[in-house]
């Protein structure tokens, strides 16, 4: 897989936005569009359903040299051989963990990504050994309707202070991406702006082009 430090476009197979499409089909379209990482997020699915989806997606991401991230379910990430598990504050720090070594397995090389919503949380995530951190939500977003936007100020802070790979997330679309990149983001997470597009591959490729132009 591409080193996380070189990854820019982080996309999602989010079951809330599949609109009847097969997860593996969406994963292929995201790979074709230039994704570096793809997260499987299925908030309303059972662990068994998520496991099955992960098993169908993993061969596609492997063939494309794209990193597969499993949201929330560390055991599933380990079982299927996914690259990374993404955990929220409530799943990690609020659950009593202090370092990623506590949730990593000696039998598995699964990386850990952590959500952060403020500078103090990002600093804790870095000390905890996170492989990457998510910075957001930058803007209001339907994927996290109750979350208060952290604004571009957090992006500027991250650009100056975060020492591990990081990705801006939350309400990033073609209207907001320029401001996010200007604030210092090198990597972004995009959910609805790609998954709600009539052509997922094309939308993905357009975000990819924006990121490549901003070097």
Residue 190: count of CB within 10 angstroms of its CB: 25
pLDDT for the residue numbered 108: 66
Question: Model pTM?
Answer: 0.95
In three-state secondary structure terms, 71 is: strand
The yes-or-no verdict on residue 199 having pLDDT over 90 is yes
How far, in Å, are 16, 27, 42 from residue 45 at the CA level? 10, 17, 5
pLDDT value of position 126: 97
Q: What is the CATH number of the domain that holds 39?
A: 3.20.20.70
Quote the pLDDT of residue 11: 98
Give residue 48's domain range: 4-213
Any idea what DSSP says for residue 4?
G
Q: How many CB atoms lie within 10 A of CB 170?
A: 25
Q: Which of 37-41, 95-99, 109-113, 145-149 has the lowest mean pLDDT?
A: 145-149
Question: How many domains would you assign to the chain?
Answer: 1
Banded pLDDT at 103 (limits 50, 70, 90): confident
- Residue pointed to by tokens 């593996």: 24
Between residues 27 and 19, the one the model is more confident about = 27
């Amino acid at each position: 897989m591409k080193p996380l430090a070189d990854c820019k476009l982080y996309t999602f197979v989010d079951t809330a936005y599949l609109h009847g499409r097969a997860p593996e089909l969406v994963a292929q379209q995201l790979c074709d569009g230039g994704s570096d990482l793809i997260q499987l997020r299925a908030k309303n699915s059972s662990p068994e359903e998520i496991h099955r989806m992960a098993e169908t997606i993993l061969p596609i991401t492997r063939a494309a040299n794209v990193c597969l991230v499993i949201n929330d379910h560390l055991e599933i990430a380990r079982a299927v051989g996914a690259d990374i598990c993404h955990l929220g504050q409530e799943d990690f720090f609020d659950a009593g963990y202090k370092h990623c070594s506590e949730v990593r397995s000696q039998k598995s090389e699964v990386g850990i990504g952590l959500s952060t919503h403020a500078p103090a949380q990002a600093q804790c995530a870095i000390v905890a050994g996170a492989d990457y951190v998510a910075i957001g939500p930058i803007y209001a977003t339907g994927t996290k309707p109750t979350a208060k936007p952290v604004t571009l100020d957090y992006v500027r802070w991250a650009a100056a202070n975060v020492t591990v790979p990081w990705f801006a997330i939350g309400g990033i679309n073609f209207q907001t991406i320029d401001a996010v990149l200007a604030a210092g983001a090198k990597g972004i997470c995009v959910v609805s702006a790609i998954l709600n597009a009539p052509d997922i591959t094309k939308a993905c490729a357009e975000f990819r082009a924006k990121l490549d132009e901003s070097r």
